[in-house]
Amino acid sequence: MKIYKKLKIGIIGCGYWSTNLIKTFEDNGFKDIYIYDKSQSQIKTIKNKFKFLKSYKSFEHIINLKLDAIFLITPSSTHYELSKKILNKGHNLFLEKPGTLKYQHINELTKISVKKKLTFMVGYIYNYNVYIEYIKKLLAKKYLGKIKYLYFERSNLGPIRYDTSCLWDLASHDISTSYFLLNKIPVVKNISGNKFLKKDFFDISYLKLDFSGIKVEIKSSWLNPEKIRKLIIIGEKKMLQFNEMSKINKILIYNKYASYPKISKFKKNFFSPHANIYLGSTISPKIKFVSPMLKEINHFFYCLKNKKKPLTDGTYAKKIVKILKKIDDKS
């Protein structure tokens, strides 16, 4: 994998996710990095971990620098205003998911980036996950048979956002992954959940979507003592589980399925047949791990250098934000 080390990078926002980002940069030889956060204590903390960072005391200072790209890793409610200023200054922009909290805002940012011929990418990181890529190839080959159902579960104790719900923060990952795997726009069937900490936002959510007959359920929570990252896919021929938290065998493919025997209408009147359950072997494919964050960064830099459209560009983000907005309207 090619690493673009000679780029001059700006990072705005110095919280938890930025620490992961900068560690990935450091591990792969990036040193020319300029940071800003409105909290000077946050800047001090992150500079104590990464001595090579150069910091600035204002947002205006950093966007006036000559940079190859800016990574905006701030709360979602700030994305629109800050991104608009960054793009209008002529910077290529990597924006953390979900993009923006309003469809018209992500639409406007996309138009600005196109007009100014800038690379604009939104960080839907699971599109760059080697396990999700592997699953997508299996589905394209119909290896599991006709897909009936996907179940996602994503939970942990925090981080808890002050400006949005667990739907936009957590379920957005799984909505994006569903769209990436199935390549269909869903119908929102049902949304429910619980609001414990603030009356406006779900802390736990249960979402049901229909992707042209394929049922998808997504459970999200930032109030769970156990960290869970799980996807189950039910096909007519086989079943699959992706457990991101497993140290080994992250993907398990079960040669198992259930079906009712085909019988005539005449026989149905006399007895109710039991479903046939087939129990076969279980396999765990060997997949070479590559950091999704590193793949995501490299894809952004490749597109930037070669004037290509990112996989998760503004147009892609518009689709996910539009789905999220429909869910909000139904809740």
Record the tokens describing residue 49, joined without a space. 């971990």
Q: Set out the domains of the chain in order of their start, with CATH numbers.
A: 9-124+292-330 (3.40.50.720), 127-283 (3.30.360.10)
Residue 257 has a pLDDT of 85
- pLDDT score, position 1: 58
Q: Would you call 197 helix, strand, or coil by DSSP?
A: coil
Cα dihedral sign, 8-13-17-20 = positive
Write down the pLDDT at residue 268.
54
pLDDT tens series, the chain, 331 aa: 566 778 999 999 999 999 999 999 999 988 899 999 999 999 999 999 999 999 999 999 999 999 999 999 999 999 999 999 999 999 999 999 999 999 999 999 999 999 999 999 999 999 999 999 999 999 999 999 999 999 999 999 999 999 999 999 999 999 999 999 999 999 999 999 999 999 999 999 999 999 999 999 999 999 999 999 999 999 999 999 999 999 999 999 999 888 887 765 545 555 566 788 888 899 999 999 999 999 999 999 999 999 999 999 999 999 999 999 999 999 8
Helix axes 172-182, 130-140, angle to 10 degrees: 40
The β-bridge partners of 205 are: 193, 220
- Going through the chain in order, the beta strands assigned E by DSSP cover 9-12, 33-36, 54-55, 69-72, 93-96, 120-123, 147-157, 187-194, 204-211, 214-221, 223-235, 239-243, 251-259, 276-283
* pLDDT for 156: 98
Which has the closest alpha carbon to 76: 34, 120, 122? 122
What's the pLDDT score for residue 31?
Answer: 87
**What is d(CA 15, CA 22) in angstroms, rounded to the nearest whole number?**
11
Which residues, listed in sequence order, are joined to residue 283 by a DSSP beta bridge? Answer: 253
Neighbours of 327 (CB within 10 A): 24
Find out whether 67 and 10 touch, Cβ atoms under 8 Å: yes
